[in-house]
Amino acid sequence: MHTSTADAATSTEETSVERKGSLVVVGTGIKTTGQLTMETIAWIERADAVPYVVGDPIAEAVIQRLNPEGAVSMASYYEEGKSRMFAYNAMIEHILRDVRSGKKTVAAFYGHPGVFAYPSHESIKRLRNEGYSAKMLPGISSEDCLFADLGVDPAVGGCQSYEATDFMLNSINIDSSSQLVLWQIGTLGDWTYKRQMYDIRAMPLLVQKLSQVYPLAHLVTVYEAPMFPGTEPMIAKIPLYWLSDFPITAAMTLYVPSARSRTPDMQMLSMFSMNAPYAGGSTPNDTPSVQGS
Q: Where are the domains of the chain?
A: 18-140, 143-256
Strands 234-239 and 219-224: antiparallel
Please identify which of the residues 52, 110, 193, 198 carries the catalytic annotation: 110
- pLDDT (tens, 9 = 90+) of the chain, 293 residues, equals 444 444 433 443 444 344 689 999 999 999 888 899 999 999 999 999 999 999 888 899 999 999 999 999 999 998 877 888 999 999 999 999 999 999 999 999 999 999 988 999 999 999 999 999 999 999 999 999 999 999 999 999 999 999 998 998 899 899 999 999 999 888 886 656 556 566 678 889 999 999 999 999 999 999 999 988 888 999 999 999 999 999 988 889 999 999 998 888 888 888 877 666 554 444 444 444 445 54
* pLDDT, position 198: 61
Q: Pick one of 2.60.40, 3.90.1690, 3.30.950, 3.30.980 as the CATH number of 143-256.
A: 3.30.950
* pLDDT, position 69: 96
Domain 18-140 belongs in CATH node 3.40.1010.10: yes
b/e sequence 137-166, b meaning 16+ C-beta within 10 Å: bebbbbbbbbbebbebeeeeeebbebbbbe
Query: 110 an active-site residue?
Result: yes
* pLDDT, position 89: 96
Please identify which of the residues 84, 97, 100, 126 carries the catalytic annotation: 84
* pLDDT, position 9: 36
Q: What gap in Å lies between CA 240 and CA 233, rounded to an integer?
A: 20
Distances (CA, A) of 278 to 25, 264, 266, 285: 44, 18, 17, 11
Please identify which of the residues 77, 78, 88, 193 carries the catalytic annotation: 88
* pLDDT, position 197: 60
Query: 88 an active-site residue?
Result: yes
